[in-house]
Amino acid sequence: MTINQRIITIAIIVFATMLTRFLPFLIFPAGKETPRFVKYLGKVLPAAVFGLLVIYSLKGVNVLEGSHGVPEMIAIAVVIGLHLWKRQMLISIAGGTVVYMLLVQLVF
């Protein structure tokens, strides 16, 4: 690829990314009444999206080989346990991450 082709490729990636971010706001501008169905989606989607993001962030885990996803399962349990117990975001996140790092570096 020449430098110009690289610039064009990056520009296209930027444009397409921005399209995915701006499109809903362009189709349903603030001044106009948003269709009821879209409003409904706006209310029920986030909970589903957070579920999707949890799976998305775990998509690289292979349960068939290597450590079979055991360190992930333990660390997830730690995050959930800590969060149910203290409900302090930073403690739950830091605790789970430290446990995971120790597991993959020392145990598995």
Contact residues for another protein, defined by CB under 8 A: 1-2, 5-6, 8-10, 12-25, 28, 30, 34, 37-60, 71-72, 75-76, 79-80, 83-84, 89-90, 92-94, 96-97, 100-101, 103-105
d(CA 67, CA 37): 44
Contact 28, 35 (CB under 8 A): yes
d(CA 18, CA 7): 16
**Least CB distance to another protein at residue 66 (A):** 13
The Cβ of residue 101 has, within 10 Å, a number of other Cβ atoms equal to 12
**Least CB distance to another protein at residue 79 (A):** 5
d(CA 89, CA 1): 45
d(CA 13, CA 19): 10
**Least CB distance to another protein at residue 23 (A):** 6
**Least CB distance to another protein at residue 78 (A):** 9
